[in-house]
A and B are shown apart, each in its own frame.
Chain A
Amino acid sequence: MADMLPRDEILEGRMVEGEGVTVMPAAPASRLSLRAPEKSLASLSKALGLELPTNPKSSATVGSRAALWLGPDEWLVIEGSGAALAAACARVKAFHAAVDISHRNTGLIVSGPRCADVLNAGCPQDLSLAAFPVGAASRTVLGKAEAVLWRTARDAFRVECWRSFADYVFMLLEAAARDV
Protein backbone atom coordinates (compact mmCIF):
# COMPACT_ATOMS: atom_id res chain seq x y z
CA MET A 1 0.00 0.00 0.00
CA ALA A 2 1.37 3.33 -0.96
CA ASP A 3 1.67 5.84 1.84
CA MET A 4 1.11 8.71 -0.46
CA LEU A 5 -0.19 8.63 -3.99
CA PRO A 6 1.78 10.83 -6.34
CA ARG A 7 -0.33 13.61 -7.75
CA ASP A 8 0.25 14.73 -11.32
CA GLU A 9 0.35 18.44 -11.87
CA ILE A 10 -2.09 19.04 -14.68
CA LEU A 11 0.17 21.36 -16.69
CA GLU A 12 3.41 19.52 -15.91
CA GLY A 13 6.10 20.39 -18.41
CA ARG A 14 4.01 22.68 -20.56
CA MET A 15 5.30 26.12 -21.38
CA VAL A 16 4.82 28.83 -23.96
CA GLU A 17 7.42 31.36 -24.93
CA GLY A 18 5.96 34.00 -27.17
CA GLU A 19 7.27 37.38 -28.17
CA GLY A 20 7.55 39.30 -24.89
CA VAL A 21 5.59 36.80 -22.87
CA THR A 22 6.10 33.47 -21.10
CA VAL A 23 3.29 31.28 -19.81
CA MET A 24 4.23 28.50 -17.42
CA PRO A 25 2.60 26.52 -14.64
CA ALA A 26 3.20 27.83 -11.13
CA ALA A 27 4.86 25.67 -8.51
CA PRO A 28 2.45 23.59 -6.42
CA ALA A 29 1.01 25.55 -3.50
CA SER A 30 -1.47 25.19 -0.70
CA ARG A 31 -4.57 27.30 -0.99
CA LEU A 32 -7.36 28.25 1.32
CA SER A 33 -10.76 29.68 0.59
CA LEU A 34 -11.45 31.83 3.61
CA ARG A 35 -14.75 33.48 4.46
CA ALA A 36 -15.17 35.50 7.62
CA PRO A 37 -17.04 38.51 8.98
CA GLU A 38 -15.17 41.66 9.87
CA LYS A 39 -14.98 40.95 13.58
CA SER A 40 -13.08 37.68 13.01
CA LEU A 41 -10.36 39.30 10.91
CA ALA A 42 -8.00 40.20 13.74
CA SER A 43 -7.69 36.64 15.09
CA LEU A 44 -7.52 35.11 11.59
CA SER A 45 -4.83 37.56 10.54
CA LYS A 46 -2.83 36.63 13.63
CA ALA A 47 -3.21 32.90 12.98
CA LEU A 48 -2.18 33.22 9.32
CA GLY A 49 0.65 35.61 10.08
CA LEU A 50 -0.44 38.32 7.69
CA GLU A 51 -2.91 41.17 7.70
CA LEU A 52 -5.97 40.13 5.66
CA PRO A 53 -6.58 42.97 3.19
CA THR A 54 -9.91 44.76 3.41
CA ASN A 55 -9.62 47.02 0.36
CA PRO A 56 -11.20 45.81 -2.89
CA LYS A 57 -8.80 44.38 -5.47
CA SER A 58 -5.88 44.25 -3.04
CA SER A 59 -3.58 41.63 -1.56
CA ALA A 60 -1.16 41.18 1.31
CA THR A 61 2.06 39.20 1.10
CA VAL A 62 4.39 37.94 3.83
CA GLY A 63 7.20 35.65 2.69
CA SER A 64 5.75 32.79 0.65
CA ARG A 65 2.21 33.46 1.87
CA ALA A 66 -0.33 35.78 0.27
CA ALA A 67 -3.94 36.69 0.93
CA LEU A 68 -5.98 38.01 -1.99
CA TRP A 69 -9.18 39.99 -1.43
CA LEU A 70 -11.97 38.39 -3.48
CA GLY A 71 -15.03 39.89 -1.86
CA PRO A 72 -16.10 41.84 1.25
CA ASP A 73 -15.91 38.63 3.32
CA GLU A 74 -13.87 36.34 1.11
CA TRP A 75 -10.15 35.75 0.63
CA LEU A 76 -7.95 33.36 -1.30
CA VAL A 77 -4.86 32.50 0.73
CA ILE A 78 -1.91 30.99 -1.17
CA GLU A 79 1.09 29.45 0.57
CA GLY A 80 4.05 28.51 -1.58
CA SER A 81 5.98 26.47 1.00
CA GLY A 82 3.37 23.75 1.32
CA ALA A 83 2.53 24.54 4.96
CA ALA A 84 -1.01 23.53 5.89
CA LEU A 85 -3.20 26.62 5.95
CA ALA A 86 -6.39 25.02 7.21
CA ALA A 87 -4.54 23.77 10.28
CA ALA A 88 -3.45 27.32 11.08
CA CYS A 89 -7.07 28.50 10.94
CA ALA A 90 -8.42 25.51 12.88
CA ARG A 91 -7.12 26.99 16.12
CA VAL A 92 -9.08 30.20 15.61
CA LYS A 93 -12.19 30.35 17.78
CA ALA A 94 -13.70 33.34 15.96
CA PHE A 95 -16.44 32.56 13.44
CA HIS A 96 -15.12 31.74 9.98
CA ALA A 97 -15.18 29.17 7.18
CA ALA A 98 -11.84 27.89 5.89
CA VAL A 99 -11.83 25.35 3.08
CA ASP A 100 -8.64 23.79 1.77
CA ILE A 101 -8.72 24.19 -2.02
CA SER A 102 -5.07 23.37 -2.70
CA HIS A 103 -5.98 20.88 -5.41
CA ARG A 104 -9.09 22.60 -6.72
CA ASN A 105 -7.03 25.41 -8.19
CA THR A 106 -4.02 25.41 -10.37
CA GLY A 107 -1.68 28.33 -10.88
CA LEU A 108 -0.15 29.80 -14.02
CA ILE A 109 2.54 32.42 -14.24
CA VAL A 110 2.21 34.84 -17.14
CA SER A 111 5.28 37.04 -17.34
CA GLY A 112 7.04 39.36 -19.72
CA PRO A 113 6.46 42.90 -20.97
CA ARG A 114 3.36 41.83 -22.91
CA CYS A 115 1.74 39.79 -20.14
CA ALA A 116 -1.19 42.18 -19.70
CA ASP A 117 -1.91 42.13 -23.45
CA VAL A 118 -1.95 38.34 -23.47
CA LEU A 119 -4.35 38.19 -20.51
CA ASN A 120 -6.55 40.83 -22.09
CA ALA A 121 -7.16 38.42 -24.95
CA GLY A 122 -9.54 36.66 -22.57
CA CYS A 123 -10.04 39.08 -19.69
CA PRO A 124 -12.18 42.19 -20.16
CA GLN A 125 -10.74 44.07 -17.18
CA ASP A 126 -8.41 47.04 -17.49
CA LEU A 127 -5.01 45.53 -16.69
CA SER A 128 -2.94 48.67 -17.20
CA LEU A 129 -0.55 49.51 -14.36
CA ALA A 130 -2.71 52.48 -13.39
CA ALA A 131 -5.88 50.42 -12.98
CA PHE A 132 -4.31 47.15 -11.90
CA PRO A 133 -1.10 47.98 -10.01
CA VAL A 134 1.44 45.54 -8.62
CA GLY A 135 -0.23 43.67 -5.76
CA ALA A 136 -3.73 44.05 -7.17
CA ALA A 137 -5.82 40.90 -7.27
CA SER A 138 -9.26 40.21 -8.59
CA ARG A 139 -11.57 37.41 -9.55
CA THR A 140 -12.66 37.85 -13.14
CA VAL A 141 -13.39 35.99 -16.34
CA LEU A 142 -10.74 34.60 -18.65
CA GLY A 143 -12.41 33.48 -21.84
CA LYS A 144 -15.10 31.07 -20.73
CA ALA A 145 -13.44 30.27 -17.42
CA GLU A 146 -13.44 32.09 -14.13
CA ALA A 147 -10.02 32.95 -12.81
CA VAL A 148 -8.29 34.99 -10.15
CA LEU A 149 -5.63 37.38 -11.44
CA TRP A 150 -2.90 38.63 -9.18
CA ARG A 151 -0.24 41.04 -10.38
CA THR A 152 2.89 39.92 -8.58
CA ALA A 153 5.26 42.25 -10.39
CA ARG A 154 5.19 44.93 -13.05
CA ASP A 155 5.57 42.31 -15.74
CA ALA A 156 4.12 39.22 -14.09
CA PHE A 157 0.71 37.88 -13.23
CA ARG A 158 -0.31 34.79 -11.35
CA VAL A 159 -3.47 33.26 -12.75
CA GLU A 160 -5.42 30.92 -10.48
CA CYS A 161 -8.06 28.86 -12.20
CA TRP A 162 -9.90 25.67 -11.40
CA ARG A 163 -7.94 22.51 -12.21
CA SER A 164 -10.55 21.32 -14.70
CA PHE A 165 -10.23 24.63 -16.57
CA ALA A 166 -6.43 24.58 -16.61
CA ASP A 167 -6.07 22.98 -20.02
CA TYR A 168 -8.53 25.43 -21.57
CA VAL A 169 -6.95 28.45 -19.90
CA PHE A 170 -3.46 27.35 -20.93
CA MET A 171 -4.46 26.87 -24.55
CA LEU A 172 -6.28 30.21 -24.56
CA LEU A 173 -3.13 31.95 -23.30
CA GLU A 174 -1.01 29.93 -25.70
CA ALA A 175 -3.07 31.16 -28.66
CA ALA A 176 -3.00 34.72 -27.30
CA ALA A 177 0.78 34.59 -26.83
CA ARG A 178 1.14 33.58 -30.46
CA ASP A 179 -1.09 36.39 -31.69
CA VAL A 180 -0.14 39.50 -29.72
Chain B
Amino acid sequence: MLLIHCPYCGEARPELEFRHAGEAHVARPVGADVGDEDFEAFLFLRANPKGIVFERWRHIHGCGRFFNAARDTVSDRFLVTYKAGDKAPADIEGGRV
Protein backbone atom coordinates (compact mmCIF):
# COMPACT_ATOMS: atom_id res chain seq x y z
CA MET B 1 0.00 0.00 0.00
CA LEU B 2 1.10 3.54 -0.79
CA LEU B 3 2.19 5.50 2.25
CA ILE B 4 1.63 9.25 2.22
CA HIS B 5 3.36 11.59 4.63
CA CYS B 6 0.86 13.93 6.26
CA PRO B 7 2.58 17.22 7.18
CA TYR B 8 0.06 17.81 9.99
CA CYS B 9 0.27 14.35 11.57
CA GLY B 10 4.01 14.28 10.98
CA GLU B 11 4.14 10.69 9.79
CA ALA B 12 3.44 8.44 6.85
CA ARG B 13 -0.07 7.02 6.78
CA PRO B 14 -1.75 4.48 4.51
CA GLU B 15 -3.30 5.91 1.36
CA LEU B 16 -6.80 4.72 2.35
CA GLU B 17 -6.96 7.60 4.83
CA PHE B 18 -6.43 10.18 2.08
CA ARG B 19 -8.41 11.68 -0.73
CA HIS B 20 -7.13 13.42 -3.84
CA ALA B 21 -8.38 16.99 -4.20
CA GLY B 22 -7.21 18.26 -7.59
CA GLU B 23 -4.36 20.42 -8.83
CA ALA B 24 -2.66 22.65 -6.28
CA HIS B 25 -1.74 26.32 -6.51
CA VAL B 26 -4.65 27.26 -8.77
CA ALA B 27 -5.09 30.93 -7.89
CA ARG B 28 -8.44 32.66 -8.23
CA PRO B 29 -8.12 35.60 -10.65
CA VAL B 30 -8.47 38.98 -8.95
CA GLY B 31 -8.74 42.51 -10.27
CA ALA B 32 -11.12 44.70 -12.22
CA ASP B 33 -10.06 43.48 -15.66
CA VAL B 34 -10.66 39.77 -15.02
CA GLY B 35 -12.44 38.24 -18.01
CA ASP B 36 -14.27 35.04 -18.83
CA GLU B 37 -11.09 33.42 -20.12
CA ASP B 38 -9.41 33.96 -16.75
CA PHE B 39 -12.25 32.26 -14.95
CA GLU B 40 -12.36 29.49 -17.53
CA ALA B 41 -8.70 28.83 -16.77
CA PHE B 42 -9.31 29.01 -13.03
CA LEU B 43 -12.32 26.73 -13.03
CA PHE B 44 -11.75 24.25 -15.83
CA LEU B 45 -8.32 24.17 -17.39
CA ARG B 46 -5.79 21.83 -15.82
CA ALA B 47 -2.37 20.83 -17.08
CA ASN B 48 -2.57 17.08 -16.32
CA PRO B 49 1.04 16.45 -17.37
CA LYS B 50 2.83 13.13 -17.43
CA GLY B 51 5.51 13.42 -14.77
CA ILE B 52 5.69 15.61 -11.70
CA VAL B 53 2.50 17.33 -10.64
CA PHE B 54 1.58 19.47 -7.66
CA GLU B 55 -1.68 18.36 -6.13
CA ARG B 56 -3.93 18.98 -3.17
CA TRP B 57 -4.66 16.04 -0.95
CA ARG B 58 -6.84 15.70 2.09
CA HIS B 59 -6.18 13.48 5.10
CA ILE B 60 -9.91 12.95 5.30
CA HIS B 61 -9.92 9.87 7.55
CA GLY B 62 -7.19 11.28 9.76
CA CYS B 63 -6.64 14.86 10.82
CA GLY B 64 -9.01 16.14 8.14
CA ARG B 65 -6.53 18.67 6.77
CA PHE B 66 -5.83 19.66 3.19
CA PHE B 67 -2.18 19.76 2.21
CA ASN B 68 -0.14 19.88 -0.98
CA ALA B 69 2.03 17.23 -2.52
CA ALA B 70 4.41 16.83 -5.44
CA ARG B 71 3.82 13.46 -7.06
CA ASP B 72 5.28 11.73 -10.08
CA THR B 73 2.35 10.41 -12.13
CA VAL B 74 4.58 7.88 -13.87
CA SER B 75 5.91 6.12 -10.78
CA ASP B 76 3.14 7.28 -8.40
CA ARG B 77 5.90 8.31 -5.99
CA PHE B 78 5.34 11.23 -3.63
CA LEU B 79 8.39 13.50 -3.79
CA VAL B 80 7.34 15.86 -1.03
CA THR B 81 4.27 16.93 0.94
CA TYR B 82 3.88 20.32 2.59
CA LYS B 83 1.21 22.25 4.48
CA ALA B 84 -1.53 24.14 2.71
CA GLY B 85 -0.52 27.77 2.26
CA ASP B 86 3.20 26.97 2.03
CA LYS B 87 5.04 27.76 -1.18
CA ALA B 88 5.80 24.86 -3.52
CA PRO B 89 9.42 23.78 -3.07
CA ALA B 90 11.45 25.23 -5.94
CA ASP B 91 13.94 22.38 -6.15
CA ILE B 92 11.57 19.70 -7.48
CA GLU B 93 13.16 18.50 -10.70
CA GLY B 94 10.96 19.20 -13.71
CA GLY B 95 8.23 20.51 -11.45
CA ARG B 96 5.65 22.90 -12.76
CA VAL B 97 3.52 25.12 -10.59
Q: What residues of chain A have their CB less than 8 Å away from a CB belonging to chain B? A: 56-57, 70-72, 74, 124-125, 138-141, 146
Q: Are B14 and A139 touching (Cβ within 8 A)?
A: no
Shortest A82–chain B CB gap in Å is 28
Bound form: Cα–Cα A124–B63 in Å: 16
A interface footprint on B3-28 (CB within 8 Å = 1, 0 otherwise) = 00000111101101100000000000
Q: Are B17 and A71 touching (Cβ within 8 A)?
A: no
Residues of A within 8 A of B13 (CB): 125, 140
Q: Are A140 and B1 touching (Cβ within 8 A)?
A: no
Q: What residues of chain B have their CB less than 8 Å away from a CB belonging to chain A? A: 1, 8-11, 13-14, 16-17, 61-65
Q: Are A146 and B11 touching (Cβ within 8 A)?
A: no
Q: Are A71 and B61 touching (Cβ within 8 A)?
A: no
Q: Are A124 and B8 touching (Cβ within 8 A)?
A: no
Residues of B within 8 A of A146 (CB): 61
Q: Which residue of A lies closest to B13 (CB)?
A: A125
Q: Which residue of B lies closest to A142 (CB)?
A: B61
Bound form: Cα–Cα A140–B63 in Å: 9
> Which of A74, A125, A141 makes the CB contact (< 8 A) with B63?
A74
Residues of B within 8 A of A72 (CB): 8, 63, 65
Q: Are B14 and A74 touching (Cβ within 8 A)?
A: no
Q: Are B17 and A140 touching (Cβ within 8 A)?
A: yes
Q: Are A57 and B9 touching (Cβ within 8 A)?
A: yes
Bound form: Cα–Cα A26–B55 in Å: 40
Given contacts A56-B11, A57-B11, contact A139 B16 (CB under 8 A): no
Bound form: Cα–Cα A26–B51 in Å: 49
Q: Are A56 and B9 touching (Cβ within 8 A)?
A: yes
Bound form: Cα–Cα A57–B62 in Å: 9
Residues of B within 8 A of A139 (CB): 61-64
Residues of A within 8 A of B9 (CB): 56-57, 138
Residues of B within 8 A of A141 (CB): 16-17, 61
Q: Which residue of A lies closest to B59 (CB)?
A: A71
Bound form: Cα–Cα A70–B62 in Å: 7
9 cross-chain pairs, A with B, having the tightest CB-CB distances, nearest first: A124-B14, A71-B63, A56-B9, A71-B64, A141-B61, A141-B16, A124-B16, A56-B10, A146-B61
